[in-house]
Amino acid sequence: MMTDDEPGLYTRAIHAGQAPDEATHSRAPPIYQTTSYTFEDSADAAEQFALEKPGYIYSRLGNPTVESLQERLASLEGGVGAVATGSGMAALDLVTFLLAQAGDNIVAASALYGGTHTYLNHTASRRGIETRFVDTLSPAAYREAIDEHTAYVLIETIGNPALVTPDIEQIADIAHENDTPLLVDNTFATPYLANPIEYGADLVWNSTTKWLHGAGSTVGGVIVDGGSFPWAEHAETYPEIGGENPAYHGVNFAERFGDAAFTNAAIARGLRDLGNQQAPFDAWVTLQKLETFPLRMARHCENAAIVAEYLDDHPAVQWINYPGLKTHETAENADRYLDGGYGGMITFGIDGGYDAAQRATESTELASLLANVGDAKTLIIHPASTTHQQLSEAELAAAGVKPDMIRLSVGLEDPADIIADLDQAIEAATR
């Protein structure tokens, strides 16, 4: 029997955002593969276009299948709303579009995904937006970098690929002391392990391509709105949300939509004008995959812990980063913010440095050499020569990317088989 309490994570991963179809009684969610929707009459159409009435106009703005995914992801992350995008990077661009303008700056942890570094350094900068990269683990560095022109603060729950966990709550407090929202990339932790909104994050960002989907067959992203930032109090800084928006005849999203102001502005302004929405088919596939998401994450975490123990004892392994190791530099933060495991990622270095690391990634037979993570299959790559190759030596060091680093996304295979594959690859690379 259901209780009045919120259902658990496993239940929400299956049921949130979707019920049997009223017209057909189909239990599985339908794919609404349509561009547009009919109106009851002219008045209905006008009210929807004026944002005075909910409904569906055009699938760039909203689609029932995509909406089901958004509701489920908002539930899993503990937010008031969510916006699904065509990729994880599209989600970041949507946040930047709404919150930052020429002359603003973004304060970002240095331990970030290489694509995020490139976007901030070479795309946001072309719009006149500066990024100030700071020591990921130094709260004082964030405080020093933030000023009246800071649009948002950006961190990752588990840094990619350094695998460090910053003090989310303390950084959130520092951001809020300066009237600045905190954006957290929760991709590597997922809502299975962490809910940054509980610790003060205002917006949470995920690449749904990774563990949320988990099969490497669709690309997608999502922004989850925590509903806590007082946009109306900072209308001059965030006019798209807290002020009278000229793109909608003066609509004030904060006044009209309350806690879900960011969500509605992201749809009405962001998706409408940038066209970076998620396709219905991709949303439908991700909805299916989410039903087994907690089960898969439990296995990823279990396998990664076993593989990390093996690597930690291997004589040819020079160093290892895994959030679950007590010797890890952010073990205390990982214990505080991660619940249910430590994720499916490991980074390590072997004898022979840069060249040996490349040879090892080329020598695996079970693990696939490719750029994705969070797949059911074990994946391996050498970040310094691939995902983070655009960074300078100083930027690589700040991001925690060592020349000999091997990044391993541990899959769902039998752990003995993963270990056997790594064993032969390391031997081939170091002999």
The structural domains of the chain, with segments of one domain joined by +, span 17-289, 293-430
C-alpha span between 192 and 338 (Å, rounded): 9
Torsion sign across C-alpha atoms 271, 272, 274, 277: positive
C-alpha span between 267 and 99 (Å, rounded): 14
Instruction: Tell me the one-letter amino acid at 143.
Output: R
Q: Are 165 and 333 in contact (CB under 8 A)?
A: yes
Q: What is the pTM of this model?
A: 0.95
For the chain, give the longest Cα–Cα distance: 76
Location of structure tokens 């505080």? 336
The CATH architecture assigned to 293-430 reads Alpha-Beta Complex (3.90)
20 CB burial (10 A radius; 0-12, 13-18, 19+): exposed
C-alpha span between 270 and 400 (Å, rounded): 33
User: Which DSSP string do the residues of 56-99 spell out, in sequence order?
Assistant: -SBTTT--HHHHHHHHHHHHHHT-SEEEEESSHHHHHHHHHHHH
| Residue 285 CA: distances (Å) to CA of 13, 69, 217, 253, 279 | 14, 10, 9, 31, 10
Burial 216-237 (b: 16+ CB within 10 A, else e): bebbbbbbbbbbbbebbebbeb
Whole-number pLDDT of residue 2: 41
Torsion sign across C-alpha atoms 181, 186, 189, 195: positive
Q: Are 384 and 405 in contact (CB under 8 A)?
A: yes
N-term to C-term CA, the chain: 60
Two tokens at 378?
């074990």
DSSP-derived secondary structure letter, 277 = B
C-alpha span between 294 and 76 (Å, rounded): 11
Same fold, 17-289 and 293-430: no
CA angle 112, 306, 427 (to 5 degrees): 85
Whole-number pLDDT of residue 398: 77
Two tokens at 63?
């689609």
Question: Which of 133, 170, 137 lies closest to 154 in space, CA to CA?
Answer: 133
Consecutive H or E run containing 45: helix 42-49
| Residue 242 CA: distances (Å) to CA of 34, 177, 226, 257 | 32, 19, 16, 10
Consecutive H or E run containing 212: none
SS3 11: helix
| Residue 60 CA: distances (Å) to CA of 72, 209, 221 | 19, 20, 15
DSSP-derived secondary structure letter, 51 = T
Two tokens at 44?
């209905």
C-alpha span between 109 and 330 (Å, rounded): 15
| Residue 308 CA: distances (Å) to CA of 40, 159, 278 | 59, 17, 35
pLDDT tens sequence for the chain (431 residues): 344 588 999 999 999 999 998 888 999 999 999 999 999 999 999 999 999 999 999 999 999 999 999 999 999 999 999 999 999 999 999 999 999 999 999 999 999 998 999 999 999 999 999 999 999 999 999 999 999 999 999 999 999 988 999 999 999 999 999 999 999 999 999 999 999 999 999 999 999 999 999 999 999 999 999 999 999 999 999 999 999 999 988 999 999 999 999 999 999 999 999 999 999 999 999 999 999 999 999 999 999 999 999 999 999 999 999 999 999 999 999 999 999 999 999 999 999 999 999 999 999 999 999 999 999 999 999 999 987 887 778 888 877 888 999 999 999 999 999 999 999 999 999 98
Class of domain 17-289: alpha beta
Phi-psi region of 168 (alpha: psi -120 to 50; beta: other; left: phi over 0): alpha
Question: Which of 318, 299, 315 lies closest to 410 in space, CA to CA?
Answer: 299
C-alpha span between 185 and 57 (Å, rounded): 30
